Amino acid sequence: MTQMDRSRVATALVLILIGVWFLLVQFVPALQAFAIDQWTWPLIVVGIGVLIALIGLVTWTPGLFVPACIVGGLGGLLYYQNLTGDWKSWAYAWTLVPGFVGVGVFFSSLLSGRVREAISGGVWLIFISAVMFLIFAAFLGGPNLLGVYWPALLILLGIILLIQSFFRRA
């Protein structure tokens, strides 16, 4: 099966799945209540991320896992914020986006057989994102897991970058 045929199959499957979903929403009252509920709309964004990932698997385009993880991750953030009303958390939650990219790079690289790139690229982005989330959350009113020690993360990140720059030259 050629790449064009796989793309057509993926498009057909996505259209069928979307059509089945909307048909079920019209005829199943419980699904209709769930789909129209004011608390569950962000799950549509998560579903779009899942669909992008499925298209990537069916067409064997591992690079689609990066946008799939970004869209799915943002949908998860929207779901949390919509459920809790904590919209001000966007002040520091945006720092998770590079982590979503890292998860996508990790899975994309693993599916492509590039394990070293998955670990070096994906895990590094996830780490940076987690550090930045903890730092920004600490001084912008989010969960302050580090207390007054959050500047230590900046020092640690600087030391890691410094060490890496010396080893890359050698």
**What are the φ and ψ backbone dihedral angles of 8, each rounded to 5 degrees?**
-65, -40
> So what's the pLDDT on residue 114?
86
Distance CA 36, CA 32 (A): 6
- In three-state secondary structure terms, 80 is helix
Per run of 10 residues, the mean pLDDT along the chain (length 170 residues) is 72 81 82 70 88 86 92 94 90 94 93 84 90 85 72 82 75
* Burial readout 127-150 (b: 16 or more C-beta within 10 A, e: otherwise): ebbbbbbbbbbbeeebeeeeeeeb
Note the pLDDT of residue 118: 79
Predicted local confidence at residue 34, as pLDDT:
67
Rg, Å, the chain Cα set: 20
The per-residue pLDDT for 27 is 85
Measure the CA–CA gap between 37 and 39, rounded to whole angstroms.
5
What is the pLDDT at residue 162? 85
Tokens of 32: 């209709």
What's the pLDDT score for residue 151? 79
